[in-house]
Structure 1
């Protein structure tokens, strides 16, 4: 029997993160769950243990945008397992909608620090713990907004375009070590973050949440925001042996909102 993989998931307390962690738990992997809030980690761990009582978990509250915080993550992972086989880098934030001329610099930095700098720091400090030879892989989360610019979301679009490019750079640099790196580009996914954004915009427009949801979901060719499990499907695939010849790719999981 082969040794269980060590899988690290950032943003593990969120809707997508919990789904992704559950996939790896079902495969018998050892999990490192990273999130900003301890409460989210505790909830995720409780849910996993209720389904898989023997799952091995390491919970690390951390801010992925801060170098010292990420260094502590790497040190704890090395002490706990000595390596990490899969990096599933899901931590990310949305942007408060605003024109480029009116975006506060702190908001620009907040979005880019988490979404791009966080991926950079996690790769910088965790890749040295990844075994070479073809069994290790990285999956990042970008967005269909990373493929083109959209008004009022310049910081978010720029950050997600940066994730795509950074992941491709990692794929090129790490190929000689047999470490693959790919990104998933979601469209609208039915997470609490998505619903909070709809609720905020509905309030701003003076309409109901359901009206706002119908407006946004009607723009999606498949007619709904995708379930978080659709992202877990893509991440699980890209970090599996079935994707052994895929690296530097960006996989669209967007219900048809963008073809390219």
Structure 2
């Protein structure tokens, strides 16, 4: 991690509207996905969600529609481990709505061990698929549409562990670090495509220590969740990335937890 790819203390102004934009959310059925769908719909975006869990996805999409009457929120069950399915989802979205202004990559997962020596290498295989392969597929599938949109955003949600790995989280931290490197490479593609005028799209990494939501607080009322990012704050940070120029955001890390 270098200073040239790091931004500290980011805060959006919350005043930007996403009216008219089309934003895709990969891995939308979990708590972070639900909060992101709600926020994007509130900001006026057309939201196209996908997840492998059809039932949870339908619940998330219905909740966003119900909370914001008139909002266009759709859901597709997509196997992001298939490049062909991912490309088909991107092509279908652009054809139906005429543009794609953003891809928010929320696909997550965790595996760990009590010590470095006890690391199970099968965890690497699982996390490589969840955290790296799905990202590779969404970036390859959506790159062209994000460039064509004129102000596209590719947003990866990453973790502090990518830059500060711990002994029992070797597979997880390495997977997150690989995902960050891939995203920065996409940012370089945007930079090169923009030429002297600067990139029209931005690849951005949002870094959290971990995420917390209301149900976690209810389940563990005595826990402090120090340094954790609330999923609603994450969703706001996602929406706020359209409030800054792509040239300033592209290839950067936005820290939503203290930068080590």
Tell me which interval the TM-score lies in, with the shorter structure as reference length. Answer: 0.7 to 0.9
2:258 corresponds to 1:250: no
How far does residue 168 in structure 1 lie from its aligned partner after superposition? 1.3
The unaligned stretches of length 5 or more in structure 2 are: 1-17, 195-199
Change beyond 3 A, Cα 1:184–1:33: same
Distance 2:146 2:120 in 1: 38
Distance 1:237 1:117 in 2: 27
Which of structures 1 and 2 has the larger relative contact order (alpha carbons within 8 angstroms, sep 6+)?
A: 2
Match of 2:176 in 1: 160
How far does residue 210 in structure 1 lie from its aligned partner after superposition? 5.8
Match of 1:202 in 2: none
1:138–1:182 CA contact under 8 A, matched in 2: yes
Match of 1:226 in 2: 229
Alignment deviations for residues 27-69 of structure 1 (CA, whole Å, 9 cap, x no partner): 2111110111011111111111111221112211123233233
Distance 2:82 2:113 in 1: 24
How far does residue 9 in structure 1 lie from its aligned partner after superposition? 0.6
Q: What is the TM-score with the length of structure 1 in the denominator?
A: 0.81
Distance 2:243 2:256 in 1: 20
The unaligned stretches of length 5 or more in structure 1 are: 200-208
Match of 1:58 in 2: 74
Alignment deviations for residues 78-135 of structure 1 (CA, whole Å, 9 cap, x no partner): 3422431111111111114354544333321111211111111101011122243741
Q: What is the TM-score with the length of structure 2 in the denominator?
A: 0.81
CA RMSD of aligned residues (A): 2.5
2:182 corresponds to 1:182: no
Match of 1:69 in 2: 85
2:111 corresponds to 1:95: yes
Change beyond 3 A, Cα 1:4–1:170: same
Of 14, 28, 43 in structure 2, the residue corresponding to residue 27 of structure 1 is: 43
Match of 1:205 in 2: none
